[in-house]
Amino acid sequence: MVHRWAWRSPGSVPARPRPGFRLLADPTRIKILWALLQGESSVACLAELVGAAPTAVSQHLAKLRLAGLAKGRREGTFVYYSAADVHVRRLLDEALFHADHADRGLPDHPAEDPHPDHTRVSH
């Protein structure tokens, strides 16, 4: 069994990862993304959930949207935000999983099973 992306040759891998990886270094953005993974939310609701000013949340959302990690849906004068797609959940899950392992000094997973929840395909 191999990951779905394992078929790609090293030459087909992007030279730079998407800017979304950098954005996961900020705890407030991680909280916002986690909230968005639970469902749509407005800036005011997100601000209350993450304990930040609405203006700060708006700035974080702008960056998350530009990176393709969040999307907005306008309804009248309100904009409701959500995670862009299922990849955002996987990216955040893996980032938090890795951080937890690093913080607790846990060993890495064997190469044949890097994460028990990953979707895998067989050849």
- pLDDT reported for residue 107: 81
CATH for 20-104 is 1.10.10.10
Chunked mean pLDDT (size 10), the chain, 123 residues:
50 58 85 94 97 97 94 95 92 85 80 53 42
39 membership: H or E segment, kind and range: none
- pLDDT reported for residue 94: 86
- pLDDT reported for residue 99: 82
Buried b vs exposed e over 13-47: b needs ≥16 C-beta within 10 Å? eeeeeeebeebbeeeebbbbbbbbeeebbbbeebb
- pLDDT reported for residue 55: 98
